[in-house]
Amino acid sequence: MNILKKLGRKVFSQKTINYYHLATAILANVLYRFPSRQLRVIGVTGTNGKTTTCHMITAVLEASGRKVGMTTTINFQVGESRFENNLKMTTVSPFLLQKMLRQMVDAGCQDAVIEVTSIALDQHRLWGIDFHTTVFTNLTHDHLDYHKTMEQYRLAKEVLFANHPVFSVVNSDDPAFQEFAKYPADHLLTYGLKHSSLIAAKKVLTRPGGTDFILVVGQRQAALNLPLPGMFNVYNALAAATVGIGLNISIEDVIEGLRNIRPIPGRMEVIEIGQPFTVIVDYAHTPDALQKVYETIKPTVRGKLISVLGATGRRDKTKRPILGALAGKYADFVILTNEDPYDEDPGDIIDAVAAGVPRGRPNRGGRMKVNKESEVPFKYKDSGEDIWWWRILDRREAIAKALSMARPQDVVLVTGKGAEKVMAVGDKLVPWSDKAVLEELLVKYQVR
């Protein structure tokens, strides 16, 4: 497979590679005897929120007494057993996926919740899986290195809805709603805040440790205290609730499942060992996800917001300066660093992100007032580098600098890798954990 990856970018067309994946998927289904036919399979796709939504759906199903299997970016579940996904693949290879589905069947699972990517759909890696329920969360800027255009990106995701599922669950507030709702299904179920939907939320109250709102299901209403912060998690919860209601799970079990959801590793995860400031790790690596994280955290910050971020190699290069601009806009201090460079020069990646940082700074980027009557363009040396933002290639050093700068009531936000335990350098996966590094450095901070 490594040979295929190396040669594929130079010799094989994408169509040829897709045929290879299709053949692999067919063989895997035959070898493991089409295990998905013995499960109620729920597929979740979208740019952001897939992992959290999968966990929420699983929690709702389990609250109703079902035995569930799950595959996501961060972990796998077979009944009561959970284990980490350190492959840096959301939708894994057909052989591994079919093997896990067979394990779910053998373990007595009734449902399988699968996080589905556009690339996996385009490459036919999910061939042979009969999706009972399909879920669309949202569509924003990502993966344009592979799909080239947003239209192609959207069309790849639409494939999940094209085979007449029993339930089609769609976010009615997303601009792409109609494109996903147009596909035939036995039942189209919608959720949202802005438009009339079967499942909705009202009286939303955000708080540092979670979100409270009224869950509206048709004519019924129920109070929900969600132990996860942010409006984006309200949408994730609505998606999970819609799946539950569609599968005839009582609203009481839906509420219980969502109310008892455990914090998702690497998703707005607070690292706490007694330090006088807040440290948060999040997986946000797209412009939309990063903006939502900033918008959730910023109102709660009483001191300064210190942001550590980078961008991934071999991925959509157009989003890099956008990530930088968002950091410049929302954070008081910005530290750019290395993040899964693959075979790209990490310095070049950081430079691309850095191009956006001063532009995003309110009243500081692009143009600078000299006096009341005039303004002049910033020169590069006047961009604020080494004053309020820095480039530090070594990720450990970057995190250490952020912690050294933090004062009581500040917030240190480290984004991009979330719960991942490896970093992609060249064609190797080397051990790396933002959480572990933060905990180690915070211990040193406590005893200094």
Q: So where are the chain's domains?
A: 2-196, 269-447
Q: Which pLDDT tens digit goes with each residue over 392-432?
A: 999 999 999 999 999 999 999 999 999 999 999 998 999 99
Q: Which pLDDT tens digit goes with each residue over 237-272?
A: 999 999 999 999 999 999 999 999 988 999 999 999
Q: Mean pLDDT in the chain?
A: 90
Residue whose token pair is 């036995």: 186
Q: Name the residue among 109, 113, 114 with its Cα closest to residue 65.
A: 109
Q: Which pLDDT tens digit goes with each residue over 60-105?
A: 999 999 999 999 999 999 999 999 998 888 889 999 999 999 999 9
- Classify domain 2-196 at the CATH class level: alpha beta
pTM for the full predicted model: 0.87
Residue 26 exposed, middle or buried by CB count within 10 Å (0-12, 13-18, 19+):
middle
CATH fold of the domain at 269-447: Protein-Tyrosine Phosphatase; Chain A (3.90.190)
Q: Which pLDDT tens digit goes with each residue over 102-160?
A: 999 999 999 999 999 999 999 999 999 999 999 999 999 777 778 889 999 999 999 99
Tokens for 18, please give them: 């897709």
Strands of 131-136's sheet, edge to edge?
A: 81-84, 75-78, 68-71, 111-115, 40-45, 131-136, 167-171, 187-192, 199-207, 210-217, 220-226
Q: What is the pLDDT of residue 12?
A: 61
Q: What is the pLDDT of residue 198?
A: 84
Q: What is the pLDDT of residue 385?
A: 93
Q: What is the pLDDT of residue 382?
A: 60
